[in-house]
Amino acid sequence: MAITVSIELNRDLEIPAGYDEVFDLLADVPKSASHFPKVDKLIDLGGNAYRWEMEKVGVDKHAIQSVYACTYHADKANGKIAWEPVKGEGNGVVSGAWTLTANGDNSTKVRFQTSAQLTVPLPSLLKLAISPVIKHEFNSLVDTYMANLKKAF
């Protein structure tokens, strides 16, 4: 038995650094991922694809771990860094994009959009109870990530 939880997130922020500096950090997946909380392992699969293995949440046999892989595509001229899922990797399917716009010499507007479907080994009757918890945790991780990125500049 398993349940699938779908999550959609959008965040807008302004980073106090120039476009090139912000783009270069976000396009460098290991460097960008170093600011994301609770990453257990980031594994380079080659071809600008990475598998994210998050820290386990829970206790013993009831621990849940999110694992997913994405291939990243950076287009500096158009201000876009997109990711798409690598099929057959882990229990999550994640896609999304960063969209960047220069805002003067020392500021960059950044939009983060992502969609995720996470399948966890829990009885379906728990879906109503566990879905909000998973969504809250994911939102919290992304909010911390955004704050960490701002601090990096």
Q: For the chain, what are the domain ranges?
A: 3-152
Per-residue b or e along 83-94, where b marks 16 or more CB atoms closer than 10 Å to that residue's CB: bebbeebbbbbb
pLDDT of residue 139: 92
Identity of the residue numbered 150: K
Q: What is the mean pLDDT of residues 114-124?
A: 88
Q: What is the mean pLDDT of residues 5-33?
A: 96
pLDDT tens digit sequence for 66-99? 999 999 999 999 999 999 999 999 999 999 999 9
Kindly tell me if the per-residue pLDDT of 126 is higher than 80: no
Residue 104 vs residues 47, 109, 130, 150: alpha-carbon distances, Å = 33, 10, 44, 17
62 pLDDT band (50/70/90 cuts)? low
Half-sphere exposure of 81 (CA within 13 A, CB side): 22
pLDDT of residue 122: 78
Distance CA 145, CA 139 (A): 10
Q: CATH topology for 3-152?
A: Alpha-D-Glucose-1,6-Bisphosphate; Chain A, domain 4 (3.30.530)
pTM, whole model, 2 decimals? Answer: 0.90
CB atoms within 10 A of CB 41: 11
Q: Which two tokens stand for residue 87?
A: 């099929």
